[in-house]
Structure 1
């Protein structure tokens, strides 16, 4: 069963691959996406990472919340399901 985390306060230079690399330390990353503005293509400052299990998502939250990636201190929380 997969689990998703939301990552807030991303640097404008953080991309999908950078986020995947940073989060892969905590488990199997199934998907990693930085949301971008439709018109400008610039990062909207947040994204989502999907892990292979809830335990991996918990480890990522514990390990990366309030840590720095690309010069920005990120916030990592459970993603709300729609």
Structure 2
């Protein structure tokens, strides 16, 4: 059973290959992805790593959480499932409906 990890506080210069290489020290990495901004293509400073087992994921947490990586202390923990955001299909409000109440 695979285990997905959240990796936060990444240096903005970190790429997918860097993340894969780092976490390979803890076991078999199934996938590694640095999350990027859609508009600019720049790193958002966090990513996800999928390890091949829960034991390897726990080893990675123990090895890397709080440890320095290129000058930044990493945050590493089990990834939580993405939560559905309420009102996900709302249109942006232009504020044209507002009335002055005085």
Note if 1:27 corresponds to 2:44.
no
Distance 1:52 1:81 in 2: 18
Aligned to 1:37: 37
Aligned-pair CA distance for 1:68: 1.6
RMSD over aligned Cα, in angstroms? 0.8
Give the number of the structure whose residues are more often strand, by fraction: 1
Is there any run of 5+ residues in structure 1 with no aligned partner, and where?
none
1:6 and 2:6 are equivalent in the alignment: yes
2:59 alignment partner in structure 1: 59
Structure 1 segments (4+ residues) deviating >4 Å: none
| Count of aligned positions | 82
Q: What TM-score, normalized by structure 1, do the two folds share?
A: 0.96
Contact 1:14 1:70 in 2 (8 A): no
What stretches of structure 2 of length at least 5 have no aligned partner?
Answer: 83-102
> Quick one: higher RCO (CA 8 Å, sep 6+), 1 or 2?
1
Structure number with larger C-alpha Rg: 2
Q: Is the 8 A contact 1:4 1:50 kept in 2?
A: yes
TM-score, normalisation: structure 2: 0.78
